């Protein structure tokens, strides 16, 4: 919403929308600003946090702030009581505080009811190829929320910091909001990952739920012109039990209020379907636009290598992406991250979709076509399952990955299209 000065009783008043759920009424001639933010509905009434700033001589301010408190915009009695309080605090009885609060309440209520005007869909631009960030094969939505979930010890935080550093090296401004470790811990990891010439990743220590921290994070996003946010982690940043739907939805409303693409780290539940959705309410999985499950393989014998697989469980805006693997190699002073083929990792190969395992098997054999029976036997799968996995109807990326070829013996075999055209 653009600002539009309004003349009232000869004094210029300027009402504007600062952000999602944040409105401001300024009186330039008086040096007064009234901000109402963190709006929510309580018993059908609109409630928000009202902050009044002024530079009136003699006013009882704290660092330029006259008053900060929750305020019921829907209550005429609340407006009158707050106006009386502001008159006392400001030592300026000639200012019509009641009129200012009345205007702020009316305009805010109207703006919240009207919202943004509708637009024809054809007037919106189409998502371009830059709608995703790609880091060594891991695709993250640029403008929407992604959840990466896994058990403790699955290197989620390390992986998230690696992603943040890689993005920062490309010129993307990244903010790492952390509820778990400390700045010193992440600084040590960043240097281990990238050496002394570390990319600039901004760090913000958080101690309160995201619904409370969102305003502070949003201010840092504006101040630093942040492009991408990493939140570590949901369990500590939720205002209540993660199992409660209202806390999951409130968390994502706060994330949306911040207004940029984001990666959120989460834990898993203890059910037999723990690898399908993050821990807690189903609204965590439902509200994110993409989710990835992280599973570690067994550590190496010397404990110096950790391999993890990432499996795309949900993707609202694109097709599901193939699973990918990362290996962390730890030494005394550095951590080296590299891509690995999960089909070569015994502990994780069985987690791959069958089509991905078939493709790897054919590639590993130099591209030699195989019969359905051969593929089923080598992969320990049912022939019917193999047939479905290589069927043209299962095309990925707009074209089929597999094709049937007939050998000189008249037998039909499955081949990779890429090998035939190479």
User: What is the reported pTM?
Assistant: 0.73
Say if CB 187 and CB 329 are below 8 A apart.
no
104: phi then psi, degrees, rounded to nearest 5: -60, -45
The alpha helices in 225-370, defined as continuous H runs, are 234-237, 245-258, 282-287, 346-349, 354-364
Distance CA 17, CA 40 (A): 16
User: Nearest to residue 347, comparing CAs of 163, 136, 154?
Assistant: 154
Residue-wise pLDDT tens for the chain (422 aa)? 444 443 334 457 899 998 778 899 999 888 899 999 888 888 889 999 999 999 999 999 999 999 999 999 999 999 999 999 999 999 988 899 999 999 999 999 999 988 777 889 888 888 777 799 999 999 999 999 999 999 988 899 999 999 999 999 999 999 999 999 999 999 999 999 999 999 999 999 999 999 999 989 998 998 999 999 999 999 999 999 999 999 999 999 999 989 899 999 999 977 767 889 999 999 999 999 999 999 998 766 567 889 999 999 999 988 889 899 999 999 999 999 999 989 888 888 888 888 888 888 888 888 888 899 888 888 888 989 888 888 875 555 556 788 888 888 888 888 888 755 55
Distance CA 240, CA 195 (A): 39
Q: Where are the domains of the chain?
A: 4-114, 130-349, 354-421
Say if CB 235 and CB 279 are below 8 A apart.
yes
Task: Supply the pLDDT for residue 3.
Answer: 44
CATH class of domain segment(s) 130-349 = alpha beta
Task: Supply the pLDDT for residue 7.
Answer: 36
Multiple choice CATH, 354-421, 2.40.10, 1.20.120, 1.10.3470, 1.10.10: 1.10.10
């Amino acid at each position: 919403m653009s600002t539009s000065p309004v003349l009232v009783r000869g004094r210029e008043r300027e009402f504007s929308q600062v952000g999602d759920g944040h409105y401001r009424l300024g009186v330039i001639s008086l040096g007064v600003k009234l901000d109402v933010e963190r709006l929510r509905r309580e018993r059908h009434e609109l409630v928000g946090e009202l902050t009044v700033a002024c530079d009136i001589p003699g006013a009882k301010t704290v660092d330029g702030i006259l008053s900060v408190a929750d305020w019921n915009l829907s209550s005429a009695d609340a407006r009158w009581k707050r106006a009386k309080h502001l008159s006392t605090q400001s030592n300026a009885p000639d200012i019509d505080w009641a009129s200012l609060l009345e205007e702020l309440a009316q305009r805010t209520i109207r703006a919240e009811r009207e919202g943004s005007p509708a637009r024809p869909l054809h007037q919106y631009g189409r998502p371009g190829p830059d709608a995703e960030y790609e880091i060594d094969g891991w695709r993250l939505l640029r403008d929407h929320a992604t959840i990466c979930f896994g058990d403790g010890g699955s290197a989620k935080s390390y992986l998230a910091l690696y992603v943040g550093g890689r993005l920062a090296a490309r010129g993307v401004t990244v903010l790492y909001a952390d509820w778990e470790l400390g700045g010193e811990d992440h600084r040590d990891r960043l240097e281990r990952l990238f050496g002394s010439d570390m990319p600039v990743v901004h760090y913000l220590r958080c101690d309160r739920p995201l619904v409370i921290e969102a305003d502070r994070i949003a201010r840092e996003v504006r101040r630093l012109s942040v492009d991408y946010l990493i939140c570590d982690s949901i369990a500590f940043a939720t205002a209540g039990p993660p199992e409660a739907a209202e806390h999951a939805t409130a968390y994502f409303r706060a994330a949306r209020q911040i207004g940029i693409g984001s990666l959120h780290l989460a834990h898993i539940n203890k059910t037999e379907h723990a690898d399908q959705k993050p821990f807690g309410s189903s609204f965590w999985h439902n509200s994110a636009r993409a989710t990835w499950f992280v599973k570690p393989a067994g550590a190496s014998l010397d404990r110096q290598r950790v391999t993890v697989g990432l499996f795309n469980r949900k993707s609202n805006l694109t097709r599901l992406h193939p699973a990918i693997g990362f290996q962390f190699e730890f030494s005394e002073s550095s951590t080296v991250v590299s891509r690995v083929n999960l089909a070569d990792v015994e502990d994780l190969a069985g987690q791959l979709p069958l089509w991905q395992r078939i493709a790897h098997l054919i590639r590993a054999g130099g591209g030699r076509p195989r019969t359905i029976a051969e593929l089923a036997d080598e992969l320990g799968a049912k022939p019917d399952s193999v047939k479905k996995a290589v069927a043209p109807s299962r095309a990925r990326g707009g074209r089929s990955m597999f094709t049937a070829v007939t050998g000189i013996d008249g037998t039909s075999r499955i081949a990779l299209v890429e090998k035939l055209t190479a």
